[in-house]
Structure formats: C-alpha cells, structure tokens
Structure 1
Amino acid sequence: MSRRVVLASGGVLAIAAVAITLVLRPGEAPVAASAVSPAGEVVARLGDQQVDANDLNALFEQLPQASRQQLRGDRAALETWLRARLAEKALYQQAEAKGWSQRPEVQAQTRAAVEQIVLRSYLNSMTQVPEDYPSEQDLTQAYEASKATLQVPAVYRVSQIFLSVPDAQATQSVRDQAQALSKRAHAAGADFAELARTYSQDPGSAAQGGDIGPQPLAQLLPEVRGVVTRLKVGEVSEPLQSSLGFHVIKLTESQPARIATLDEVRGQLREALRAQRQEQAAKQYVDDVLNLSTLSIDGAALNKALEAQR
C-alpha cells in the first residue's frame, strides 16, 4: 500500500493505445523520476516485441515541455504507456502476418494519412514562428488578459493514520482502534507523527510521520475532502471511513486558491502564443495558395456526387 492511500485513484496521465491525452493535476504527490535510458536501450518487452529508448524519446518529442516534466516524474503513467505501446506492436505484427496492410481499404487510408502528414509537415515548415516570439511584452499582455482564468487551486497538506479493514467482520474493531488513536492524537502534547509511524498501515506515509505532502482538494479521497476543509491548521479529525479503511487526519498546512504568477505559467503561455501565431500564419498561407488562381466549384457535379453517396 502506497502513501497515496488517502488520495483519489487515477493517474496523472490517461494513455490510450493510439493517442495520448494528458490531464495535468497540480500538486500530485511526486514519484522519483528515473533517468531516460541511452538511445536504443530496451526498456520493456512483451514476447518478441520490445520498446526501447528511441520509442520513449519519440513520445517525449510529441509533448509540450511542461507535460514532459510531469510524465518523467510519474512512473505509473510511463508504465501504462509502455504496456499500450507493446500491445500496439503485438497487434501490428499479427496484422502484418495476415497481409492486412495490403487490403485495398487499408492502402487507401494509408495514402490519405501520408498525404496529411506531408501536408502538415510542409505547412509547418512554411509557417515557422520566429524564435524570439513571443517577446516579454507579448507574454505580459497575454498574462494580464487571461490571468483571471489562471487559478491555482487551494492546497492542503495533511497527515494521516490509516487502518485497513481486512473484512466486514473486522469493521467495528478497526473503528474502535481508530477512535482510540484519534483520542490519543487529540491529547495535549501528542506527537501525531510518532503515532502515524507506529500505528499507520500505509507504509509510504507512515515512514514520513503520516505526511502525504501538499495536495489540491480534488486529489484527496471524496470522504476526506469535506473533513479537510472543515479542519483548522493543527487540528485532528475524528476517524472517518473510506472504501479503503479508516483514517485519522491532521491538517498541517493550507494555502488558499490564488492566481498563478507569470513565472509559473510562462512556459505554457509561450507555447500557447506560438501555437496561435503558427495557426494564424498557416491559415494565411492557405488563403494565399487559394488566391493564386481562380477557384471554381461545379454545383451540378457536386450535387450529383452527393446524390451518389445516398
């Protein structure tokens, strides 16, 4: 059992087999990041399929810088992606063994995909944004225009004493034990951290005196959230029951919601402005291509083609 036992389930990253969607949650308890392997070194295997550091590097190159840093620090998300990538390779091998890529509909889709890849690559190369964009003034103006939406959620630092419930018959006895520990934690001069180290059954947080680190409310278990928001710093809760067991919670620090500073969002803001500028340049480039010669659309032929689709 990890020190995240008081945290809501669900990783920072949800990774599909083909596309990767990142959901960034500030305050996620960090996992020690491992160094990326040297290029070409195999990092995972499934039968005769393997994923090497080149595959991993290709993944990172698709992501914004801020997302790369979070992914590097979340081993569970990386392992989820590795499993998905290995499954893709195994499925592709099966399909190739059956000559699937030679099917007419697959070849038609392949040609269309290649056309789109070439088009996007060419268009990107023709609409590159200058390296010095955005300027500091551009960043400041964009920040001032949007800072009302750049909310950093309230953060709560809590410690816990966690007791698991092995079966339904043990519920009452565990509840009584949690009540006794809560009473001890409420006593004058009580050392909550020592109680957590001695009695908590969540090894990760117990080793830290029960501390699970600063977390936004959404990262805590639903049963814990309401209790935490009612506690004052330094207060200890009565035992509360979750689907995992019983928790005795101490609020050690809280930070109210606030507007992110420019320095905190500078990287993301720069990427957004550059993407916006390139999108505008791409649209203008396409418009210019269309204006090179007269565009004509044969309405009758178009209607006939549409009719044939019914």
Structure 2
Amino acid sequence: MSNSIVDCIRRTALVSVATLVPLVAAAQTAPTPPAPAQRQPHTAPRAAKQEPAVAPQAPAAAPKAARAADNADARKNDDVIARVGNTNISAEEIRGYVAALGDRDLAALRQDPNLLSQAVRMMLANRLVLQEINAKKWDQQPSIAEKLDRVRESAAVELYLQTVSNPPEKFPSDDDLQKVYDANRAAFLMPRQFELAQVFVALPKDADKAAEDKARKSVEDIQRKLKAPGADFAAIATEAGDANGGALGWVVENQIRPEIRSRVMELAKNAVSEPIKLDDGWHFVKVLDTKTPYTRTLPEVRDGLIQQIRNERAAVLRRTYLAELLKQQPPVINELALAGLLNERGAATR
C-alpha cells in the first residue's frame, strides 16, 4: 500500500481514555481497594532461603491413584513444545503463559496464532541468554546484583499494585456500561469509509528526466488499458507490480490524503480516477464500495469499552491505595540534601 494514499491506516480504537466522560456512577459500584496494613517501618534484612540438611524421604509406597496422578502430571510436563540446545519449553509453560495474558492479547493470539510462535522463539532466546549469564556468573558482579535487586523490587511492587487495584470480576455492571455508552455516543461514530484499490507508478521527487519519461510512458500505457472495454483493474494493478491486485481495503475518509480524497468523493462506485500526481508518483484510484457514517452499537464496542472502564477504575484504585499508604506513614524528605546529591552527579559528569 502506498503511504501517499493513506496517511495512517491503523486499527481504529473502540474508545480512547480522553473521550470518555468521568465514570463517577460506574466507579462507585466497585469496592475501594484494601487499606494498606498499618505497620512500623523496619529495615530487617531478607532471610536467606534455608535448604533442608537432609532431603525428606519419600514414602515407600504410594497409593495407585496418587502414582497415576503423578505419572499423568509428569507426562503433561514432559510434553516438549520447543527446544533450543539443551533447553526445553513444555506445554505446561505455554499454558501458563497464555493463562497470564490479558483479554486483548489473548484475542490477538487467536486472530494470529503466529504471534504465539514468535513469543515462544523469544522465550527460547531468553533461555539461551540466561544460560550465558549463569555460565559467566555475570549477575554476581556487585554492581549488576544491585541493579537486579532494584528491578526485582520494582517488579514485585508493580505486581502487588496490580493485585490491589484490580476491579471486581463483574465490574462494570450492564447498567454502568449502558450509561457510559449513552454518554459517549459521539465517540463511537464511524466516519464514512471507502473500499479502494489503486494502480501506482512510482516516481521519486528527485527523479531524473529519463525516469520521468519512463514513468509517464507507463502512466499513458496504464490509462489506455484501463479505458479499454472490460478492463480488469486488479490484473492491470498486478501487471504494474502490486501483488495484491491494487487492493487497499477499507479506508476511513479522514485517513485519505486530501489530494486523493477530493477525487474519491467525486467517483461513483466502481469508477476509476484519472491519474493523480503526488510527490511519490502517479495514482489511479478505484472506488470499490462505500459505507455511510454510522454510530457503532453497544454490542460492537462492548469488549473494548469494558476494558477501558476497568483500566480507568484500576487507575483510580491504585491512586487511592497509594494515597492512603502515604497518609498512614507520611514521608520525610531532606530536599536540600537531595538537591546536593543531584549537583554532585552533575559535577562528576563535567
């Protein structure tokens, strides 16, 4: 697809954060986050994990049912899905990965299973990197270990905050959802759309005269073919070098370049424009079909709207939790000393 025809063909979001009105009524239906536990600050070091001096002995004999279950679990875990070197990824690991995905990511995987294959390849690459890290004991360097500790702390805090700010499973209610939809109907307006195809003859801005003459000859040849009785637009586009027969798909009106849009608006269904000269070359545009503007229904936007409302509610719960935590234990910061540390860093880098 030529970038000149469409400024930005992208997936149309169901609704953006900025377009939604405040969800006061909806937010009140969800419980507030749990209050942070009140405790005195302490600096006790983390206890090292203790390994048993002697491994506990397994029972001499296990019931048949238990052994069967263990064998089934073993087979389940031994089902290798991918391997690189001596590193395996089991079906159970993939199940865990998929189970941890959000609704939107899961829907994307179902729509394009190749994404899961790409994720598995990345997991294998990560395993190889980890093997190299362990072999070189890279993570045991003091400066690296300190950074890793900070990363672990940040990850733990983020996961915990996600837990305490996660809205209830059935939030929002159907009534809340309907209220938000009714208050934001304008956000769900789908502009007029055009199903377009094109034949494109490239001609860069800085092309020399020989290239211009060659492109112009191609344009004249294509124009002659398009005007012939029974002309096959897709075949002509393919002959001109477009593997998709010139198909651009459905394009929203305001995403079409103004120079093209003005011509498209004048064309009837199945009509073809005269050659249009833009800064990247020549375009013959065909209107295959049109859709008039319409407002998407609640069923059409339901999943995306629910996710948007839940995200907004989670952000509110997170802010509420953190505010309460700091209220219980107000922080004290020596701003002068803090500024001095920053100045020290600046002096060291000069």
Same-fold status (TM-score > 0.5): yes
- The number of residues matched between the two structures is 269
> What whole-Å deviation, never above 9, does each CA across 1:114-135 have from its counterpart, x for those lacking one?
1122222223333442222111
Task: Please state how far the C-alpha of 1:149 moved relative to its aligned partner.
Answer: 2.7
After superposition, residues 150-189 of structure 1 pair within 5 angstroms as: 150-161=188-199, 168=211, 170-184=214-228
Distance (Å, rounded) in 2 between the aligned partners of 1:40 and 1:218: 49
Which residue of 184, 189, 195 maps to 1:146? Answer: 184
| 1:104–1:212 Cα change, 3 Å | same
Moved more, 73-82 or 95-104: 73-82
Distance (Å, rounded) in 2 between the aligned partners of 1:272 and 1:199: 41
Aligned twin of 2:336? 303
| 1:296–1:239 Cα change, 3 Å | closer
Aligned twin of 1:101? 139
Unaligned runs of 5+ in 2: 14-78, 204-209, 344-350
Amino acid at match of 1:107: A
Aligned twin of 1:123? 161
Unaligned runs of 5+ in 1: 13-22, 27-38, 185-189
Which residue of 195, 218, 235 maps to 1:197? Answer: 235
Which of the pair has the greater relative contact order for Cα pairs under 8 Å at 6+ separation?
2
> What whole-Å deviation, never above 9, does each CA across 1:162-197 have from its counterpart, x for those lacking one?
5678x936323312211202322xxxxx445x3533
Aligned twin of 2:314? 278
Amino acid at match of 1:116: S
Question: Does the CA-based 8 Å contact 2:82-2:120 persist in structure 1?
Answer: no
Aligned twin of 2:81? 41
Aligned twin of 1:267? 303
Distance (Å, rounded) in 2 between the aligned partners of 1:239 and 1:214: 21
Distance (Å, rounded) in 1 between the aligned partners of 2:125 and 2:138: 17
Question: Does the CA-based 8 Å contact 1:182-1:237 persist in structure 2?
Answer: no
Distance (Å, rounded) in 2 between the aligned partners of 1:49 and 1:111: 26
Matched, 1:232 2:268: yes
Sequence identity percentage: 22
| 1:128–1:75 Cα change, 3 Å | closer
Distance (Å, rounded) in 1 between the aligned partners of 2:279 and 2:87: 38
Task: Please state how far the C-alpha of 1:100 moved relative to its aligned partner.
Answer: 3.5
Aligned twin of 2:249? 213
Question: Does the CA-based 8 Å contact 1:232-1:251 persist in structure 2?
Answer: yes
Matched, 1:255 2:288: no
TM-score where L is the length of structure 2: 0.57
Distance (Å, rounded) in 1 between the aligned partners of 2:7 and 2:142: 41
TM-score where L is the length of structure 1: 0.64
Q: Any idea what SS the aligned residue of 1:176 has?
A: helix
Q: Any idea what SS the aligned residue of 1:205 has?
A: coil
Q: Any idea what SS the aligned residue of 2:249 has?
A: strand
Task: Please state how far the C-alpha of 1:215 moved relative to its aligned partner.
Answer: 2.6
| 1:97–1:72 Cα change, 3 Å | same
Aligned twin of 1:16? none
Question: Does the CA-based 8 Å contact 1:160-1:211 persist in structure 2?
Answer: yes
> What whole-Å deviation, never above 9, does each CA across 1:211-251 have from its counterpart, x for those lacking one?
54323357768875554344232321123457887543221
Amino acid at match of 2:81: E
Distance (Å, rounded) in 1 between the aligned partners of 2:148 and 2:129: 17
Which residue of 325, 335, 345 maps to 1:289? Answer: 325
Question: Does the CA-based 8 Å contact 1:160-1:248 persist in structure 2?
Answer: yes
Task: Please state how far the C-alpha of 1:281 moved relative to its aligned partner.
Answer: 2.3
Task: Please state how far the C-alpha of 1:156 moved relative to its aligned partner.
Answer: 0.9
| 1:70–1:249 Cα change, 3 Å | farther
Distance (Å, rounded) in 1 between the aligned partners of 2:95 and 2:251: 29
| 1:57–1:233 Cα change, 3 Å | farther
Q: Any idea what SS the aligned residue of 1:237 has?
A: coil
